[in-house]
Amino acid sequence: MKPGNRFDGGPDRNRSAPRLASVGRPRGLLFLLASALALVAGPASGQQASPQDTYGPLFVAVQTARVFPDGKTFVDAVPKRDPQAILADYRRAKPAAPDALRAFVLKNFTVPGVNDRGAADLRRHIRTLWPKLVRQPEPPVTGSSALSLPAPYVVPGGRFREMYYWDSYFTMLGLAVDGQQPLVESMLADFTAVVERYGHIPNGMRTYYLGRSQPPFFALMLALSKDNSPELAARRLAALRREHAYWMSGASCLDATGACARVVRMPNGTLLNRYWDDRPLPRDESYAEDLATAAQDPSRPPAIMYHHLRAGAESGWDYSSRWLADPKSLASIRTTDIVPVDLNSLMYLMEQAIAQRCGAAGDVACSTRFNELARNRGAAINRYFWVGREGRYADWDRVTRGPTPRQSAAMLYPLFAGLASPQQARATAATVRRTMLATGGLRTTPLRTGQQWDAPNGWAPLQWIAVAGLERAGQRALAREIARRWMGTVAAAYGETGKMLEKYDVEERKPGGGGEYPTQDGFGWTNGVASAMLERYPDLLER
């Protein structure tokens, strides 16, 4: 059949009319003429009004400005309220710029394929995304940067084509409640194999990530497993203990500076941890960016700058005012001078998990040792990281030998780890309400710096740490409020874009920005946290 013909030989009623010359904006003689015709023309006798008849000048403005690439999009839109009221508001507001015109339409119409995705569809959409994010194990091509893995795994999405460490915990939270337990087990097999091969879990499954790790969530991942076979338990415990040894290996080279690799000696002698990277070079994946940053501060040797930048990448917060002497300058980065509250809370949980698993295996000496390590670490966290006068947990500065002035969502990790007293939990919750809570969820920090781990951005993993931590500490109302606001942001962006995004602007409830690359969609940890939150609070999106 030729285009434009019907099977019965009659005219094709879906065929488009000949186009007039393209109009970029609703201006000029053509627009004025079309508007005048729209005002005087009406539906033919006995016919129901078409969108052109009903919306007159608004219809002409939208169609001639090409607000939507396909002219059929707007004419199939459904008004959210009385059409005459919409038209009256349009005449009053007169939005002329294309962006303003589009915003007016989206506010007043449900537009197919644009903002017609309901919040109720969100969980179903996430479940359809999991298979799309699964990758099968394949031997890497010679010369490729990929690390080989033995079992299927889930990638974050977008530019992130490999499995990442801390992303995967939050992804697995969603897999576990979305009927994807086999993927949880296969990803644990991958992580266990990686520890056995390299001695640690790298930032991501690429050769250029082997110099660093990421926030150590392996112990918490293992708690999501349903496979309790003794042989597998022994293998996983060995891998977990090896990961702990990796983080603590700097204890053997401590000198008068009080720090080596990832280990820091606190004033009372307790050994805590910092972020680090073993390679004093620009990052392979951000080579030009790191060269440019190092060149901005010629007073520091480039290798020192690269250690700070790489350590910031190991933290997962790449980058944030948490690591900057001057919040407006990435060149002032000093990550390795800071003892982070989130890292040490996770190390406390790791030590507790090893003690529990050693006890279950009948290894009393191991259980006793790691229980003692956890107790000492927990006491040090509350001694050095708690700032009572400000009602918050802080990072600790090993140069000034005191807490840093930077507030951040990391203050909730001790609650997540069960380290906060009821009084500390109440004070932290009050601080969060006062400085960290935004319309669309939890801010990463209160500072606007242009870095992606600062305001106005919010990130799925930190929302989960906050919600789970506040719940654990008895601050249930605030936990639910953060979950409600966050899911409202995720649902709004999904309704607008049809995508699950890496990060969000929680102040304006829109896609987030900043950082070294554009906001990515996919997105593993956003999907996982959304599913986990809706499992915990199933009524969150009912309205």
User: Could you give the residue numbers annotated as active site?
Assistant: 318, 502
Residues 320, 323, 326, 332, CA torsion sign: negative
The CB density around residue 484, as the number of other CB atoms within 10 Å, is 17
Query: Cα(394)–Cα(520) distance, rounded to whole angstroms?
Result: 30
Query: Cα(222)–Cα(184) distance, rounded to whole angstroms?
Result: 9
**Contact predicate 463/531, CB 8 Å:** no
Query: Cα(277)–Cα(265) distance, rounded to whole angstroms?
Result: 18
Q: Which helix (H) or strand (E) holds 272?
A: strand 271-273
DSSP-derived secondary structure for 342-372: HHHHHHHHHHHHHHHHHHHTT-HHHHHHHHH
Q: Which helix (H) or strand (E) holds 173?
A: helix 165-177
**Contact predicate 170/464, CB 8 Å:** yes
User: Across-strand partners of 265?
Assistant: 271
The CB density around residue 204, as the number of other CB atoms within 10 Å, is 26
Q: Is the bond leading into 456 cis (omega within 30 degrees of zero)?
A: yes
Query: Cα(340)–Cα(267) distance, rounded to whole angstroms?
Result: 16
Query: Cα(537)–Cα(543) distance, rounded to whole angstroms?
Result: 13
User: Secondary structure of 66-92 in the HEC alphabet?
Assistant: CCCCCHHHHHCCEECCCHHHHHHHHHH
The CB density around residue 265, as the number of other CB atoms within 10 Å, is 18
Q: Which residues contact residue 510 at a Cβ distance below 8 angstroms, ignoring those fewer than 6 apart?
A: 492, 493, 496, 504
Query: Cα(64)–Cα(42) distance, rounded to whole angstroms?
Result: 19
User: Across-strand partners of 259?
Assistant: 264
Half-sphere exposure for 309 (CA within 13 Å, toward CB) = 27
Greatest C-alpha distance within the chain: 94
